[in-house]
Chain A
């Protein structure tokens, strides 16, 4: 059967071409099959045992070294995503620190409704009108949005 792998969908240049596998029926697999498979792995074989019910590939038995390699690959992806995210955070913090070092106030102190409205106007529309409406509205409006 032909199986389209989608685990690398987001990784350009690493997409697997469609490939075929022989699906063993779960009920047909015996201890002897597993023993023979292990022997093949010990001899350096890497052909997996793919099995499932109804000719659907649902699981694969692979060499343990391949499993560890897969785990490392997934972990590397995770670290790469997190590193990009942390780099963006660090950039924003650095920008904020630079602004502070230049004497630019990095935050706005609001002591009244008028201050809040003036600050909202620096954000722009439609936000300013929303803040103005919110200041006029009864307090329970915000309670409704509280998840």
Chain B
């Protein structure tokens, strides 16, 4: 599942304040409502996943560029789910930053912990890394000014959806 990505037992681990705040909220929910099994389970598997990532677990798979998302091709994702009988509902997005100098350790950044639904975890990760939707990393690096500071503009097709097998549709204004 990790597609040959190496386990990295000797890494530094970085967790952003936003992920901390998300977990504080979830922990409070689990604490206030002991009968909220879903919150507790989600907190449990999130803690398991964070411990595993800290110990060097390679995650579930690498992320690839998709035009409808920010480019997270330097990141990996780990599936997290509160209900073992359903598809994992959450994702942890992280990336390994190589050491800048000999003797330093790889730094593993947890970028986002979020819902899988509508790719929210990936949109949050993109925002935190300052990456607009649909812009490749190479283009972002070549941009003359920080694209992330421009107004965020999701991309949508302004055309009607095309039906398969029909190429004689007329454009609609």
User: What residues of chain A have their CB less than 8 Å away from a CB belonging to chain B?
Assistant: 68, 71, 75, 78-79, 82, 85-86, 89-90, 92-93, 96, 99, 104-111, 113, 115-116, 119-120, 122-127, 130-131, 134-135, 137, 139, 141-143, 145-147
A143–B120 CA distance with the chains assembled, in angstroms: 24
Could you name 21 residue pairs across A and B whose Cβ atoms are closer than 8 Å?
A71-B160, A78-B156, A79-B156, A92-B18, A96-B16, A99-B17, A106-B18, A110-B12, A110-B13, A123-B27, A124-B27, A126-B27, A130-B44, A131-B50, A134-B47, A139-B55, A139-B57, A142-B55, A146-B79, A147-B80, A147-B87
Q: Give the shortest distance, in Å, between A47 (CB) and chain B (any CB).
A: 23
Chain B residue with the shortest CB-CB distance to A104: B17
How many A-B pairs with Cβ below 8 Å? 132
Judge whether A90 and B127 touch: CB under 8 Å: yes
Judge whether A147 and B79 touch: CB under 8 Å: yes
A139–B51 CA distance with the chains assembled, in angstroms: 9
A71-B160, A127-B47, A134-B47 known; A85 and B14 CB under 8 Å? no
A1–B162 CA distance with the chains assembled, in angstroms: 34
Interface SS of chain A: helix
Judge whether A89 and B152 touch: CB under 8 Å: yes
Q: Is B45 an interface residue (CB 8 A)?
A: yes
A138–B42 CA distance with the chains assembled, in angstroms: 20
A142–B31 CA distance with the chains assembled, in angstroms: 23
B residues less than 8 Å from A96 (CB atoms)? 16-18, 128
A105–B154 CA distance with the chains assembled, in angstroms: 29
Chain B residue with the shortest CB-CB distance to A64: B172
Judge whether B128 and A110 touch: CB under 8 Å: no
Judge whether A126 and B17 touch: CB under 8 Å: no
Judge whether B27 and A145 touch: CB under 8 Å: no
B residues less than 8 Å from A116 (CB atoms)? 13, 50-51, 54
B residues less than 8 Å from A71 (CB atoms)? 160
Q: Beyond A134-B48, A145-B49, list 14 extra A-B contacts (CB 8 Å).
A: A68-B172, A85-B120, A86-B154, A89-B152, A107-B16, A108-B17, A110-B13, A116-B54, A123-B24, A124-B28, A131-B51, A139-B55, A146-B79, A147-B60
Q: Give the shortest distance, in Å, between A42 (CB) and chain B (any CB).
A: 17
Judge whether B128 and A143 touch: CB under 8 Å: no
Q: Give the shortest distance, in Å, between B103 (CB) and chain A (any CB).
A: 14
A34–B132 CA distance with the chains assembled, in angstroms: 48
A96-B18, A108-B14, A108-B20 known; A126 and B52 CB under 8 Å? no
B residues less than 8 Å from A106 (CB atoms)? 16-18
Judge whether A110 and B54 touch: CB under 8 Å: yes
Q: B13 touches which one: A109, A122, A123 (CB < 8 A)?
A: A109
Q: Is B23 an interface residue (CB 8 A)?
A: yes
B residues less than 8 Å from A92 (CB atoms)? 18, 124, 127
